[in-house]
Structure 1
Amino acid sequence: MPETYLYSIGTPGQPWGAAERDVWRARQVRQRSYADDVLTAIEALRGRFDVEMYGDVVYADAQHPAERFPLRALRSRHWQPGLPSVLVTGGVHGYETSGVHGALRFVDTQAERFAGRANLLVVPCVSPWAYERFQRWNFDAIDPNRAFREASPAQESAALMRLVAPRHGQFAAHIDLHETTDTDESEYRPAVAARDGKVFKPGSIPDGFYLVDDTDNPQPKFQQAIIEAASRVTHIAPADEKNEIIGSPVVAPGVIRYALKQLGLCAGISGARYTTTTEVYPDSPSASPVQCVEAQVAAVQAAVEFVCTASAGRSLMED
């Protein structure tokens, strides 16, 4: 294997143990504040929305004092059982900034437009420790977005599942906000290969916005509505020469599919009929980080509008 593909932690071909995880963790530097960026923004919205406290994430080891991160969600103030409900999640991967700030901006600037039409539960930052360190993994070198399963080893994933569990099957839609960045290829993918004792195989980064639908429950009209809204803000990622995006066949412009529940992905936790994962590309020469936040807001708006229209249509048919 060429030396350039070797990760700087661990022994090639051998999965990491506790010592390697300790080395990796020691390299993670706090670069921003979850309390300042997220909790303060949530508190500023408390006068207009309910704030739901759904737990804490606590991390510590012999080298690191305990850090406690309060977990908070925003909820429509007048929740009405007869309305369609939409779950919005961001920051499952803490370094994917536009998901966090897109969720917060949607609540601040757009959510009240849907009062009396939809119930909204918005979790802006699922993974606070990783948010502060621009990391994909949590403190334990676990990817939360592969850990949404029973007896999850990731505190963040387990806490979100507990929040959603009483409402499971009651959501019409769940939109999970993500980014694909250049560091996926330069840092994360080599790191995950090293952690798991595998060979890193270089790939490519899609240039633009795309969606991940559910293989087991595809909803092409829902995906199309979001793609159309996002395309008015940023460009849609083209397929590669194999008609793929990140190794998966493109089933419609800007849309691929994953087995959400089987892979332990966040978008598979709600039991909603309509589910999707957004991906924006803030490192694109044709987009900016601000555009990416705006694309996330447009995607959430389109998702909520879609279920409101679908619900109204069903009601008319029943009448």
Structure 2
Amino acid sequence: MTDTAPYPIGTPGTPWGAREVEAWRATQAAQRRYGQDVEPRILALADRFTLQEYGTLDYAGERFTLYALSNGPIDASLPTALVTGGVHGYETSGVMGALEFLETRAADYAGRVNLLVAPCVSPWAYERVNRWNYDAIDPNRNFTADSPAGECRALVALVAAQEVPFLLHIDLHETTDSDEEEFRPALAARDGQDYDPDTIPDGFYLVDDADNRQPAFCEAIIEAVEKVTHIAPADPQGNIIGSPVVQKGVIEYPQGKYGMCAAITGARFTTTTEVYPDSPSATPEECNAAQVAAVCAALDYALSA
């Protein structure tokens, strides 16, 4: 048992029920607007990419259209790659990095790869600057066809509808100070478990798939991103967020077992990026640029493999 103060919602040691979820939801006021920050940039790209509305979320009358952009009709002679951002809505550079990639670099891959980009998978959480969706569900542990999270079901269906094998999927995330200040304590409270504090790594890192390791692929991404921002070192125990560092800037999870977004395509090359926007030596622009560099390095490596 830790000596940290109990989370303000729920009873320590008891998983949340509907009352606690409702109490949590009541604390989640919108802090920014998907319809102002994200949707206009997506719609502005419709003259350069094929725009797809792949679902709608309706949370107590708040409706959010889910968008993806592709670089034209699928060419079966080309490999296919998926880029996702905003699975966790609070992870801003995941959304902004995906948009910046579309605006500045995606055209470089015309005729080389079928690109599919979903810039903001979780718009309700984007507005609340939260990790969970409306129902206090973490989308990045629930990517299945019958998921309890509508965000996940919609994206899984979009991928299935492509009817082509995927070569690559890169999922853009952040690790922030709020992970320790809010989200991990909330998770422990929701599940009726003890909260064990950890440290937040200062820098960029990747999460490889423990069941489909691609060390050279990850190395290529780390080398490219290191030109833009610093790479997170291991802590004194040799870990990053409690997981052993398996190579410079890389940890691994069994992505499919954990229901992670990066597992939904079954691609040969998959990874999750993690940028640290709260670093005193990083700016929002640098974080967005790191995401773009990671996407481009991932594509370049996969297309040359």
What is the TM-score normalised by the length of structure 2? Answer: 0.98
- Runs (4+) off by over 4 Å: none
Instruction: Give the 5 Å matches for 1:287-298.
Output: 287-298=282-293
1:167 offset after TM fit, Å? 3.3
Query: Secondary structure of the residue that 1:46 maps to in structure 2?
Result: helix
The question of whether the paired residues in 1 share the 8 Å contact of 2:9 and 2:23 is answered with yes
1:206 aligns with 2:201: yes
- Per-residue CA shift, 1:140-183, capped at 9, x if unaligned? 00000001124200000111000001336611000000000000
Corresponding position of 1:193? 188
Report the Cα distance in structure 1 between the residues aligned to 2:203 and 2:278, rounded to whole angstroms. 9
Gaps of 5+ in 1: 61-65, 311-319
SS in 2 for 1:54: strand
| Aligned 8 A contact 2:2 2:196 in 1 | no
Residue 266 of structure 2 is aligned to residue 285 of structure 1: no
Deviations, residues 74-118 of structure 1 (Å, cap 9, x unaligned) = 101253211111100000000000000000000000000111111
Does residue 171 (structure 1) correspond to residue 137 (structure 2)? The answer is no
SS in 2 for 1:161: helix
**Cα 1:168–1:13, aligned 2, differ >3 Å: closer, same or farther?**
farther
1:146 to 141, 144, 149: 141
RMSD in angstroms over aligned alpha carbons?
Answer: 1.1
Over the matched positions of the two proteins, sequence identity in percent amounts to 62
Q: Which amino acid aligns with 2:47?
A: G
Tell me which residue corresponds to 1:44.
Answer: 44
- 1:34 aligns to what? 34
Are 1:24 and 2:19 matched, yes or no?
A: no
Out of 76, 88, 103, the position equivalent to 2:98 is: 103
SS in 1 for 2:96: helix
| Structure 2 SS opposite 1:5 | coil
**TM-score under structure 1 normalisation?**
0.93
Structure 2 residue runs of 5 or longer lacking an equivalent are none
Q: Is the 8 A contact 1:59 1:68 kept in 2?
A: yes
In the alignment, the residues of structure 2 paired with residue 167 and residue 239 of structure 1 have an alpha-carbon distance, to the nearest angstrom, of 39
**Alignment equivalent of 2:110, drawn from 106, 115, 126:** 115
Take 1:78 and 1:3, find their aligned partners in 2: how far apart are those partners?
Answer: 56
Q: Which residue of structure 2 aligns with residue 222 of structure 1?
A: 217
Deviation at 1:3, TM superposition (A): 5.7
Per-residue Cα deviation, 1:243-282 (whole angstroms, up to 9, x for no partner): 1111111111000110000000000000100000000000
The residue type equivalent to 1:182 in the other structure is D
> Could you tell me whether the CA contact under 8 Å between 2:145 and 2:152 is conserved in 1?
no
In the alignment, what sits opposite 2:81?
86
| CA distance in 2 between partners of 1:113 and 1:150 (Å) | 33
1:215 aligned partner, one-letter code: A
Does residue 75 (structure 1) correspond to residue 98 (structure 2)? The answer is: no
Say whether residues 1:265 and 2:257 are aligned partners: no
Q: Secondary structure at the match of 1:199?
A: coil
Q: For 2:158, what is the secondary structure of its paired residue?
A: helix
- Is the partner of 1:4 in helix, strand or coil? coil
Q: Which residue of 2 aligns with 1:253?
A: 248
How big is each residue's C-alpha offset from its partner over 1:13-70, in whole Å with a ceiling of 9 and x where there is no partner? 000111111110000011111111111101111111000110101111xxxxx11100
Secondary structure of the 1:142 match is: coil
Contact kept, 8 Å, 2:145 with 2:157, in 1: the verdict is no
Spell out, residue by residue over 1:111-130, the C-alpha distance to the aligned partner (whole angstroms, 9 max, x if none): 00111111110000000000
Give the equivalent residue in structure 2 for 1:243.
238
1:2 Cα shift? 5.8
- 1:84, 1:307 within 8 Å by CA — same for their partners in 2? no
Say if 2:145 and 2:156, in contact at 8 Å, map to a contact too. no
Any idea what SS the aligned residue of 1:170 has?
coil
Alpha carbons 1:227, 1:254 under 8 Å: kept: yes
After superposition, the Cα gap between the structure-2 partners of 1:255 and 1:168, relative to the gap in structure 1 and judged at 3 Å, is: farther
Q: Aligned equivalents of 2:248 and 2:280: distance in 1?
A: 20
Aligned residue identity for 1:255: V
- Between the two proteins, the alignment pairs up a number of residues equal to 305
